[in-house]
Amino acid sequence: MPAPSKRDKQSMKRGAQTKGVRTNLRNLSKNFYKALEAGDEEKAREIRDQSQKAYSKAAGKGIIHANKASRKVSRLDKALATDRG
């Protein structure tokens, strides 16, 4: 088996660095929807604010695409609005 190339090593290192950020984004979304289901609007609003910041930061660093970040935040806002109404 040949030794890994520099590109392979860089890819593995970058993947390890971004894994935590991606996991955090998924957990924030999951916790947001759990809070909505439980009827805790205040907690959902707080998590939505954290999510908005985290998605924007991840998009700015190139971890996720900017359009994906925008779409996710928009869906969180929409879910919060429909839950109230």
Q: How far is CA 76 from CA 12, 16, 41, 70, 73, in A?
A: 31, 27, 12, 10, 5
* pLDDT, mean of residues 18-41: 96
Q: Is the pLDDT reported for residue 85 higher than 70? A: no
Residue 57: how many other CB atoms lie within 10 Å: 14
Report if residue 7 sits inside a domain: no
pLDDT score, position 76: 97
Distance of CA 31 to the CA centre of its chain: 11
CATH number at residue 44: 1.20.58.110
Report yes or no on 4 lying in a domain: no
32-80 pLDDT tens trace:
999 999 999 999 999 999 999 999 999 999 999 999 999 999 999 999 9
pLDDT in the model for residue 12 = 95
Question: How many domains would you assign to the chain?
Answer: 1
**What count of other Cβ atoms lies within 10 Å of the Cβ of residue 84?**
8
Instruction: Give the residue numbers spanning the domain of 30.
Output: 18-84
